[in-house]
Amino acid sequence: MMRKVCLVTMMTCLSLAGLASAAKDVTFGYRFEPGKAQKYQLKMNTEMEMTGMEASQVADMQVTVTCASAKGDAYTMNLVFDKVEASNVIGGNMQADPTAAQMTGESVSFTVDSHGEVSAVTPGPGFEAWAQVQQVIEPTLKNWYVFLPDKAVPVGGDWKRENYRDKSAGTEYVSNENFKFREMKKDKGQDTATVDQDVTTQIGGTTQTPVGIYNLAGTGKGKFEFQFDPARGVITYYKGSMQTDINMTPQSGGDPMKTSVVNHIERQLVE
């Protein structure tokens, strides 16, 4: 009896080992094709607490991202805000965000490579509300494409990006990102890789507000997960949250204001 149990156990282990060795590595890299468009549903929820005052914003967007042209590993992209709905809650009072209507139908162009690094974010012609929304839209676009290594990674493997420096609308970031290839699974009949992402960041620079310019100093920490379709070279689903604690000091003088911001994001490829 014991021999049979041992034999079954050994065969099970060999079977599992065979399945593991049969699992294919996945090449994590973006694929862009000039003229091809992708539609996304984007939901963002931002909660902020500043010196005892609480505020929040909820935004729901539908956007179309089109690859306009390619030159080497640089792809010129164009994003159009097809539909934007947003509301703000301040002091318990909710009201529609007037910039949402001003964004609908407007566009932004940028450049991206196969790793997902975005640069040259530029508002389209006639984007009159850009000055009001740049501090939100530019960092969102800079993080639209998660960093991919553009190489093969096995299930259970990982990659990282360390000391990545970026600047968006005056705010400076130094980030460390760790990625773990969790599993392969079927999603709507397609082989999909699920990846966990941990992010830590240091924040500096300045920010422009209606009451003046502030110097920033703070840290952030976030956890995200996403699903990657290796056949198409695209992230089909992305979700997570990040908390940032910042001291905002007025350049005109005065005590720093402690500010805590929690950002929740969910993005899905719909077409």
pLDDT at position 13 over 60:
no
Question: Quick check: is 142 in a domain?
Answer: yes
CA distance 242 to 247: 17
pLDDT at position 9 over 70:
no
Number of residues that this document lists for the chain: 271
48-99 residue pLDDT tens: 998 888 899 999 999 999 999 999 999 999 999 999 999 999 878 889 988 8
150-162 residue pLDDT tens: 999 999 999 999 9
Q: What pLDDT is attached to residue 223? A: 98
CA distance 33 to 75: 9
Question: Quick check: is 34 in a domain?
Answer: yes
- CA R_g for the chain: 22
pLDDT at position 229 over 60:
yes
Please state the pTM of the whole predicted model.
0.84
Question: Quick check: is 145 in a domain?
Answer: yes
Of the candidates 185, 195, 191, which has an alpha carbon nearest to the alpha carbon of residue 157? Answer: 195
Question: Quick check: is 220 in a domain?
Answer: yes
Question: Quick check: is 10 in a domain?
Answer: no
Question: Quick check: is 6 in a domain?
Answer: no
pLDDT at position 10 over 60:
no
Listed range (4-8, 41-45, 55-59, 215-219) with the worst mean pLDDT: 4-8
CA distance 270 to 175: 29
pLDDT at position 4 over 80:
no
Q: Which residues contact 270 (CB under 8 A, 6 or more apart)?
A: 39, 40, 41, 62
Alpha helices in 46-125 (DSSP H): 98-103
158-201 residue pLDDT tens: 999 998 888 776 788 899 999 999 999 988 888 999 999 999 99
Tell me the pLDDT of the chain averaged across its residues. Answer: 88
How confident is the model over 132-146, as a mean pLDDT?
A: 89
Confidence of residue 21 (pLDDT cuts 50, 70, 90): very low
Question: Quick check: is 18 in a domain?
Answer: no
Confidence of residue 23 (pLDDT cuts 50, 70, 90): low
Q: What pLDDT is attached to residue 12? A: 42
Q: What pLDDT is attached to residue 135? A: 83
Q: What is the domain extent for residue 244?
A: 24-269
**Looking at the 3D structure of the chain, how many domains does it have?**
1
What CATH number should be reported for the domain holding residue 40? 2.30.230
Confidence of residue 17 (pLDDT cuts 50, 70, 90): very low
Question: Quick check: is 209 in a domain?
Answer: yes
